[in-house]
Amino acid sequence: MHYVQRRLDRLGALSEGPNYKWWAFTAVSIGIFMSTLDVSIVNISLPRIMAGLNTSFDAIQWVVLAYLLTITSLLLAFGRLADLTSRKKVYIAGFVVFVVGNLAAGMSRTVIDLTAARAFAGIGGAMIQANSVAITAAVFPPQERGTALGLNGTIVAAGLVAGPTLGGLITDALGWRWVFYIAIPVGLLAIPFALAVLQERHIAVATRAREPFDWPGSVLWAVFLFALLFALNQGSSMGWGSPFIVAMFVASAILVVAFVAVELRAAFPTMRLSLFRIWGFSAGSTALFCSFTSQQIPVFLLPFYLQIVRGMSARGAGVLLTTVPLAMALVAPISGRLSDRYGSRGLSTAGLLIIVAGFLFLVRTTTAGQTDLPLIGTFILIGLGLGLFQSPNNNFIFASVPRHQYGIASGFIATIRNAGSSLGIAVWGAIMASKLTSHGFTGDLEAAAYNPTLTGKVTPVFLDGLHIAIYAAVAVLVVGIIFSALRGPKPSQELAAAPASGEGRPEGRNVR
């Protein structure tokens, strides 16, 4: 024990100095990578999990949604909590919870057990994600922030790249339970590394006084998201006009109004709605939300297309899907660096336009008899668009807010990412489930992968639902393009480094 402590102390001493920012970046990159990997590695295994637990398409969505919904509900709360207490402690505690949740997920015997374990792991994921970008933005100077966030995008892409391939290999070789167990050894190495390297004095922003935590706002936000996403997910099976589903939609509307009312009156709110007075922040956040909502077409639906319609193995489907994040990984650091020099509006808008083109090609390349090459080209096009969009857009959002609110901004960016992902899975899943249910195929979807006769009947219905979802995603992306193009010029870098004043609303003329 003393030997381990001495090694950790030495590692902490080595990390001090002018290169500290890179040590801190390495520590949080492990968290970014694992929390991203934890989604992509599971998605490719969903058809096999659905068969292993003998459950339905509607139910299997909650294995993903439980994780994303928990993260989305708690990100703002943990971002705020870290600003008030300790970013280091919240980040490391998140890794502990994350490891325990994945252990429980691997040991699950029913889909209910698995969903609960994923929700618990999502608590840890929220603690990690709410702090990783804030720590990165805090340790790098404004003139290098775009580059750092571009590298952040590369780490995200690396997790997405590794997920499908690694998930497919593990599922085929060891079984689906091991896609959860893989997080345990990584977490056990990441925790002591972060303990040694992260120094609170470098990553925290001192507050003028002890501020209370906004419990009412945090609870209202979490319950609102659950009500909305539950209604979207279960609407196809229970009936969109059923009293319960209608009540859930009404409740979600009331809850979001109550949340806004509470936050406007709170002295120290979880979500500082004053940030939305900054047009650049609002426009960039909206574009980000549209991007992540649409991304769930390739992330969530295409594994089912490749394994059921195309009859591919989990490993083969995973390898094919890696082309999207691989292309993203190649472009993200370049686009982040370019945004430091030339601003973000043109780069981000061009990225979204490329994604739209990729989605339109996706309609033509997702057919029953299509070869791999056109599909790979389409995936590369989508990945290039994502890489061109995300790093400049995140850089723009951070440049629009004062430094002392990086925790809130980081939590909000992660909230937007996960809320968009959750909504995308719920909406595109609802479209697909409604289409399958109307033709009587919901319970037989997994069986279609192993029954040629059934596959022939399911394929046209599945493809019809997939293409409807793709066109709907294109419409969402068009909204993102409009907001991205109208965001205005690059905010002053001095704005992001401004000291706290009042409620934290940035001053100056470069807020629009």
Reduced 3-state DSSP string for 323-384: HHHHHHHHHHHHHHHHHHHHCCHHHHHHHHHHHHHHHHHHHHHCCCCCCHHHHHHHHHHHHH
- Tell me if 502 is assigned to some domain: no
Question: What's the confidence (pLDDT) of residue 72?
Answer: 77
Question: What's the confidence (pLDDT) of residue 436?
Answer: 76
Last residue of a domain, one of 223, 244, 265: 265
- Tell me if 512 is assigned to some domain: no
Which tens digit of pLDDT belongs to each residue from 191-246?
888 888 887 766 665 544 456 777 888 888 888 888 887 787 677 667 778 899 99
* Mean pLDDT across 118-123: 92
* Residue 223: domain span: 215-265
Do 248 and 313 lie in one domain? The reply is no
More confident residue, 338 or 442: 338
- Tell me if 504 is assigned to some domain: no
More confident residue, 406 or 309: 309
Do 219 and 329 lie in one domain? The reply is no
Do 373 and 243 lie in one domain? The reply is no
- Tell me if 364 is assigned to some domain: yes
- Tell me if 237 is assigned to some domain: yes
Do 148 and 277 lie in one domain? The reply is yes
Do 182 and 300 lie in one domain? The reply is yes
Phi-psi region of 215 (alpha: psi -120 to 50; beta: other; left: phi over 0): alpha
**Residue 443 has what DSSP assignment?**
G
Do 251 and 134 lie in one domain? The reply is no
- Provide long-range contacts, Cβ within 8 A and 24+ apart, for 14-19: 15/196, 15/197, 15/199, 16/199
- Tell me if 30 is assigned to some domain: yes
Do 323 and 437 lie in one domain? The reply is yes
What residues have CB less than 8 Å from 384, skipping those under 6 apart? 327, 328, 331, 351, 354
Q: Give Cα 453 to chain centroid, integer Å.
A: 37
Do 124 and 140 lie in one domain? The reply is yes
* Mean pLDDT across 9-14: 54
Question: What's the confidence (pLDDT) of residue 209?
Answer: 47
* Mean pLDDT across 417-445: 75
- Tell me if 244 is assigned to some domain: yes
The SS3 of residue 199 is: coil
* Mean pLDDT across 395-422: 73
Do 60 and 125 lie in one domain? The reply is yes
CA-to-CA dists, residue 56 to 53, 265, 476, angstroms: 9, 44, 28
Tell me the pLDDT of the chain averaged across its residues: 78
Do 449 and 465 lie in one domain? The reply is yes
Question: What's the confidence (pLDDT) of residue 490?
Answer: 61
Q: The pTM is what?
A: 0.70
CA distance 37 to 183: 9
Do 421 and 483 lie in one domain? The reply is yes
Last residue of a domain, one of 199, 234, 265: 265
CA-to-CA dists, residue 394 to 152, 183, 399, angstroms: 10, 27, 9
In this model, does residue 435 exceed pLDDT 90?
no
Range with the lowest mean pLDDT among 105-109, 153-157, 354-358? 153-157
Question: What's the confidence (pLDDT) of residue 496?
Answer: 39
Instruction: Kindly report the CATH number assigned to the domain that includes residue 454.
Output: 1.20.1250.20
Do 270 and 366 lie in one domain? The reply is yes
Question: What's the confidence (pLDDT) of residue 437?
Answer: 75
The fraction of the chain above a pLDDT of 70, given in percent, is 81
CA distance 435 to 58: 12
- Tell me if 10 is assigned to some domain: yes
In this model, does residue 479 exceed pLDDT 90?
yes
Q: Which of 421, 431, 405, 417 is nearest to 495 (CA)?
A: 405
Q: Which of 182, 188, 159 is nearest to 170 (CA)?
A: 182
For the chain, what is the domain count? Answer: 2
Question: What's the confidence (pLDDT) of residue 107?
Answer: 92
Question: What's the confidence (pLDDT) of residue 18?
Answer: 66
9 pLDDT band, cuts 50/70/90, is low
Which tens digit of pLDDT belongs to each residue from 240-264?
788 999 999 999 999 999 999 998 8
